[in-house]
Amino acid sequence: MAEDTLTITDNRTGQEYTLPITDGTIRATDLQQLRIDDGDSGLMAYDPAYLNTASCRSAITYIDGDAGILRYRGYPIEQLAEDATFLETAFLLLEGELPTAEQLHRWEEDVRYHTYVHTNVQKFLEGFRYDAHPMGMLLGAVGALSTFYPDAKDIGDPDGRYLQRVRLMAKLPTIAAYVFRHSHGLPYVLPRNDLDYIGNFVNMTFEIGGRHEPSPVLQRSLEILLVLHADHEQNCSTSAVRGVGSSHVDPFSAVSAGIAALYGPLHGGANEAVLRMLDQIGTKANVPGFIEEVKAGKGRLMGFGHRVYKSYDPRAKLIKRVADDVFEQTGLNPKLEIALELERIALEDEYFVSRRLYPNVDFYSGLIYQAMGYPTDYFTVLFALGRLPGWIAQWEEMLGDPEQKISRPRQVYVGEGERPYVPRADRG
């Protein structure tokens, strides 16, 4: 019978080693026993950008990138998007099981109770310039929350962790809405605890003089988008939350690191970049020319490609359906025609096919957010609202994992050898 081991011969020494294989992995630290002599600190695995390195064991999200499968705690994303609310999904990610009616009620009530933020947070936001990027404001404000809740430092206390979890879930929509109002020069709208999670957020962003008429279709569509974004295992921002959290800093600081990572155009900022790209293309007739430029290496087709999905991103499929519901309500976004044409050509083009580049979650989400009335530079804030439960769940899983330590990769030093300091006057 085949053994779950790997036998390696170190040709430098002729020595043979047998390493255990567990869950399809070898332990990189097992390689340390491969040494040339006693002074050698052992063989390392070199893996820039963690292309083939598992950094943790996780029971939260399962992805099969080749088959286009995404599941939270075992539940297919398609079923959650169809039936689950966002808070229910958050409970599932955080607790591991779907809530009973009673658990869901308590969770919703706890979150509802904590939606207000200290008025100094409002003052803090007022300090930002009128044209400050919403993600810059969001990450600053969430980081600042740690100063309002010094008890959050006690990450070893399960009750305390629950409280911070509730505070983050409850206050992020309030802060996100204040950021929106700040960008528009509008007064802040206080949370309304008679509304549900999504209804309250939408009201805080769009209410003006009692004239905002909520649309159940748009609110459910936003909720589905948040469910689709709620976790995605060890992506850049989640790894940032885990990495920063591994220093045992409070969760507000760790989450603000996640927001910073999400801000980048290669990650959550891609939905914003897609809209700018569609603006730049301008008309459907310009699409073939734009595709040629991408193929010639002059920029990327934003919203295409993924580190893990090498087939159609299952979230992009679901988002396309949401788009139909939203556009039926709001009327067609003219940029949709350009996006559909880009997708049609790219899915047939050898360049994209051979590299297995398919639309990702960000390709259509920006068009939907725009139709809902959110400005382009605000899209990633909506992504952050969705990803929050995943960040918290992954942070707590990391803290409870006895194998985890402070995150600290190794390096291969390629710089100068030792050399004497040259006095300033002697440097040519």
Kindly list the catalytic residues: 267, 306, 362
Of the pair 41, 354, the CB lying nearest ligand ACO is at 354
- Which stretches of the chain bind ligand ACO, using CB under 6 A? 266-268, 270, 294, 300-307, 355, 357, 360-362
Minimum CB–partner distance for residue 276 and ligand ACO (Å): 12
What is the 3 state secondary structure string of the chain?
CCCCEEEEEECCCCEEEEEECECCECCHHHHHHCCCCCCCCCCCCCCHHHCCCCCCCCCCEEEECCCCEEEECCEEHHHHHHHCCHHHHHHHHHHCCCCCHHHHHHHHHHHHHCCCCCHHHHHHHHCCCCCCCHHHHHHHHHHHHHHHCHHHHCCCCHHHHHHHHHHHHHHHHHHHHHHHHHHHCCCCCCCCCCCCHHHHHHHHHHCCCCCCCCCHHHHHHHHHHHHHHCCCCCCHHHHHHHHHHCCCCCHHHHHHHHHHHHHCCCCCCHHHHHHHHHHHHCCHHHHHHHHHHHHCCCCCCCCECCCCCCCCCHHHHHHHHHHHHHHHHHCCCHHHHHHHHHHHHHHHCHHHHHCCCCECCHHHHHHHHHHHCCCHHHHHHHHHHHHHHHHHHHHHHHHHCCCCCCCCCCCCCCCCCCCCCCCHHHCC
Closest residue to ligand ACO in the complex (CB): 305
Minimum CB–partner distance for residue 69 and ligand ACO (Å): 16
Of the pair 177, 301, the CB lying nearest ligand ACO is at 301
Minimum CB–partner distance for residue 236 and ligand ACO (Å): 7
Minimum CB–partner distance for residue 340 and ligand ACO (Å): 17
Of the pair 21, 266, the CB lying nearest ligand ACO is at 266
Minimum CB–partner distance for residue 269 and ligand ACO (Å): 8
Of the pair 84, 228, the CB lying nearest ligand ACO is at 228
Of the pair 284, 300, the CB lying nearest ligand ACO is at 300
